[in-house]
Amino acid sequence: MTSQMEPIYARSVLPCIDEPARKAIFKISVLHDSSYAVWSNGEIERIETFGDGQTLSHFTPTLKMSTFLLALIVAPMSDFACRPDHLVGSKNTKSRVCGRVDILPQLAYADEIANKALEFFNIYFDIDYPLPKIEHFSVPDFGAGAMENYVGLFFDEKTVSASRKQYITTVVSHEISHQWFGNLVSPAWWGELWLKEGFANYMETLASDFVEPLWMQEEQFVVEKIFGFMEADSLPTSRPISIESTNPADIFQLFDLITYDKGATLIRMMSMFLGAETFQHGVRTYLKALSFSSATQQDLWTYLSDAANNTIDVERIMDGWTRQAGYPIVEVNRDYNTVDRERVGGRMVISQRPFSLFSTTMKRDKWWIPFKYFDRTSTQVNEDCW
Of residues 23, 59, 53, the one with CA closest to residue 40:
59
Interatomic CA distance for residues 287 and 145, integer angstroms: 26
Q: From the CB of 159, what's the least distance to Zn ion, in Å?
A: 13
DSSP 293-361: EEE-HHHHHHHHHHHTTTSS-HHHHHHHHHSS---EEEEEEEETTS--TTSS--EEEEEEEE--SS---
* CA gap 301, 24 in Å, rounded: 27
| Angstrom distance (rounded) from CA 66 to CA 182 | 9
Least distance (Å) from Zn ion to the CB of residue 52?
41
How near is the Cβ of 148 to Zn ion at its closest, in Å? 6
* For Zn ion, the closer CB: 266 or 314: 266
How many whole angstroms separate alpha carbon 95 and alpha carbon 83? 10
- In the complex, least distance from residue 175 CB atom to Zn ion, rounded to whole angstroms: 7
The count of residues interacting with Zn ion (CB under 5 A) is: 2
Q: Between residues 80 and 190, which has the closer beta carbon with respect to Zn ion?
A: 190
Interface with Zn ion by CB under 5 A: which range of 40-48, 55-63, 194-202, 290-298?
194-202
Nearer to Zn ion, 197 or 299 (CB): 197
Nearest residue (beta carbon) to Zn ion? 200
175 is catalytic: yes
Taking the least distance from each CB to Zn ion, the nearer of 187 and 326 is 187
Least distance in angstroms from the C-beta of 202 to Zn ion: 11
Q: With CB under 5 A as the contact rule, which of the stretches 200-208, 224-232, 268-276, 279-287 interacts with Zn ion?
A: 200-208
> Shortest distance, CB of residue 178 to Zn ion, whole angstroms?
6
Length of the chain: 386
- Specify the 3-state DSSP secondary structure of 107: helix
Rounded CA-CA distance 80/137 in Å is 10
How near is the Cβ of 101 to Zn ion at its closest, in Å?
28
Q: How many helices (H) and strands (E) does the chain have?
A: 12, 15
What are the phi and psi torsion angles at 92 (to 5°)?
50, 50
Q: Of 24-32, 105-113, 199-207, 263-271, which segment contacts Zn ion by CB under 5 A?
A: 199-207
Kindly indicate which of the ranges 13-21, 190-198, 307-315, 339-347 contains the residues binding Zn ion, using the contact rule CB under 5 A: 190-198
Q: Mutual orientation of helices 276-289 and 297-307 as an angle, nearest 10°?
A: 130
| DSSP SS3 for 83 | coil
The Cα–Cα gap between 289 and 287 comes to 6
Residue 80 or 202 having the CB closest to Zn ion: 202
Question: Do the bridges between strand 29-33 and strand 54-59 make them parallel or antiparallel, or are there none, so unpaired?
Answer: antiparallel
Type of residue found at 83 = R
Which residue number, 161 or 170, has a Cβ lying nearer to Zn ion?
170
147 contacts Zn ion (rule: CB under 5 A): no
Phi, psi of 32 (to 5 degrees): -150, 165
Burial environment of residue 323 by CB neighbours within 10 A (0 to 12, 13 to 18, 19 or more) = middle
The type of residue at 77 is M
Does residue number 195 form part of the binding site for Zn ion (CB under 5 A)? no
Q: Which stretch binds Zn ion (CB under 5 A): 99-107, 124-132, 198-206, 287-295?
A: 198-206
Cα–Cα nearest to 276, from 209, 220, 347: 209
What part of residues 25-64 is at the interface with Zn ion (CB under 5 A)?
none
Nearer Cβ to Zn ion (178/281): 178
131 vs 200, which CB is nearer to Zn ion? Answer: 200
Quick one: which of 73, 114, 117, 200 contacts Zn ion (CB under 5 A)? Answer: 200
Contact in structure between 35 and 54 (CB atoms under 8 Å): no
| Annotated catalytic residue, options 119, 148, 175, 192 | 175
**CB 200 → Zn ion: shortest distance, Å?**
4
Interface residue list for Zn ion (CB under 5 A): 197, 200
Active site residues: 175
